[in-house]
Amino acid sequence: QKLKILKKRSSLFISNTMEENNNNNISEGDENLLFWSNLYENSERYDNLHELTRDFALENDTLTIKERNYLSLAYRNIIVSKRISFLTVRSLYEKGSNDLPINIRELHKNYIIKIKLEIIEICNEYINIL
């Protein structure tokens, strides 16, 4: 029963998206971007949305408002996710680092640095796109 409902919703979503895109004279490549972006956003797959919009933006000189919005959405959510990870790991390190052996503290500290570098890399990536 639930599967039938999901199939019906997804087919309605696809047909509505296609119809909306056809009315706006959107090319097939843009149509695919909008379809997948919408799907990734609704399923909260921001890593996939980030990769998709980044690659699309690098391949195209100009972006429509909708494409820029998806790029912004992907960037914002991927950074928020990484930032929460960073704050959580750093907080755990600050609370319990004195009780841990030195080698474990170093691993923990290195992991904090790794997350920080990932954030910096993503930010630099988007600055270069813009």
pLDDT classification of 93: cutoffs 50, 70, 90: confident
Contacts 24+ apart (CB under 8 A), 15-21: none
Is residue 96 over pLDDT 70? yes
- Mean pLDDT of all residues belonging to the chain: 78
Supply the pTM of this predicted model. Answer: 0.66
Summarised one tens digit per residue, pLDDT across range 43-70 is 888 888 888 888 888 888 888 888 888 8
pLDDT at 116 over 90: yes
Residue 40, classified by CB atoms within 10 Å of its CB into exposed (0-12), middle (13-18) or buried (19+), is buried
